[in-house]
Amino acid sequence: MKATGLLQARLAPRPTDVQCWLGQGALYRQCQHPCGRWIKALGEADVAMNHTVESKNKALVLEAFDTLFNKRDYAAAERFWSPQYIQHSAHIAPGREGLFDLIKSLPPTLKYEPGTIVGEGDFVIVHGRFSNFGLPVNWIAADIVRIKDGVLVEHWDVIQDEATQEQSKSGQPMFGRKFATYASAQ
C-alpha cells in the first residue's frame, strides 16, 4: 500500500473488487463495490448519526420544557435557552427573558404535558398540553424549536383551546386518549 495524503487500498481483481479511499480512519464516499455493500453501510452510518442527533435534540427539548414549565427552575432553565433566543409566538414577549417572564406571571399550578415529539435535523416539534395556567380551558400546542450548539435558539407555536367531547366534531380527543373536562361548560 502507498500513502499519499489519502491511503489507497486495492484488492486483487475479481467480481467483488473494492477500491476504497481511506483517510484518517474514515471511509470516503468514493468507495466502489459492485453489490453496493460499502456504500450502503456508509449510508446506514449517516442515518444512525442523524437519529442520534435527533434523539438528543428531542431529549433536550423535553428536559428544557420540564425544567421551565413544570419545575419552574429558572436558573437551570437558562442553560437550555440561548441568550439570543428568537421568539415568534404572538403570546410571548421577545427573547428568553420574555418567555421566562411569562412563566413567572402564571399560577404555580401550571402543568405541561408532552405528547408526540418529532425531530429532524436541528428542528423539534412537540405536541403538548398546557393546563391550570389561569384560563378556563387548556391549550393544546405544537411547539416548534430550532436547536443550535445544544441550546434552543428559536421558537414558533400553534395553539388552540382544548375541546371537550361535546365540542369535538371528530369525536376524538385533541390530546392523549381522554377528553378534557372543565368545571363549567363554555
Look at residues 157, 176, 156, 154 and name the one whose alpha carbon lies nearest to residue 165. Answer: 176
- Mean pLDDT across 133-161: 97
Distances (CA, A) of 152 to 17, 75, 78, 111, 142: 47, 15, 10, 20, 15
Distance from chain centroid for Cα 181: 29
Which CATH code is given to the segment(s) 52-161?
3.10.450.50
Q: Which cell goes with 54?
A: 435527533
**Is the confidence at residue 95, as pLDDT, over 70?**
yes
How confident is residue 49, by pLDDT bands cut at 50, 70 and 90? low
Percent of the chain with pLDDT over 70: 71
pLDDT for 142 beyond 50? yes
pLDDT at 183: 72
- pLDDT at position 15 over 70: no
134-143 mean pLDDT: 96
Domain ranges of the chain: 2-35, 52-161
DSSP state of 132: S
| pTM score of the predicted model | 0.72
